[in-house]
């Protein structure tokens, strides 16, 4: 069975105004602990086949997990899609 994971976080209550993606993901993992292994490796890095966006910007090009987020920003976590 192929499992698909799409999680959209529109606001992480309690995060500082200038938080990072890492802090937002930690807040997500606290609420949904089972999702961590789907998104991150054992070392805490984003898995190769997972794309994380701040608004429309891919975090691979904006500083990775240390990318700054502001209040009310939308973070999208989307698996890569492939096949034939």
Q: What is the CATH number of the domain that holds 33?
A: 3.10.20.30
pLDDT tens, position by position, 47-63: 999 999 998 999 999 99
Count the domains in the chain. Answer: 1
Q: Determine, yes or no, domain membership for 1.
A: no
Whether the pLDDT of residue 26 is over 80: the answer is yes
Please say whether the beta carbons of 4 and 53 come within 8 A: no
Whether the pLDDT of residue 42 is over 50: the answer is yes
Residue whose token pair is 């309690």 = 14
Over residues 3-31, the mean pLDDT reads: 66
Greater model confidence, 11 or 42: 42
Q: Determine, yes or no, domain membership for 75.
A: yes
Whether the pLDDT of residue 15 is over 70: the answer is no
pTM, entire model = 0.76
Distance CA 69, CA 42 (A): 24
Whether the pLDDT of residue 12 is over 70: the answer is no
Distance CA 75, CA 24 (A): 9
User: What 8-state DSSP symbol labels residue 47?
Assistant: P
């Amino acid at each position: 069975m192929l499992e698909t994971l799409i999680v959209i976080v529109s606001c992480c209550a309690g995060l500082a105004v200038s938080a990072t993606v890492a802090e937002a993901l930690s807040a997500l993992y606290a609420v949904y602990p089972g999702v961590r292994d789907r998104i991150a490796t054992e070392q805490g890095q984003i898995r190769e086949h997972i794309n994380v966006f701040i608004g429309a910007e891919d975090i691979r090009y904006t500083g990775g997990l240390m990318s700054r987020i502001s209040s009310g920003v939308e973070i999208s976590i989307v698996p890569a899609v492939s096949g034939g």
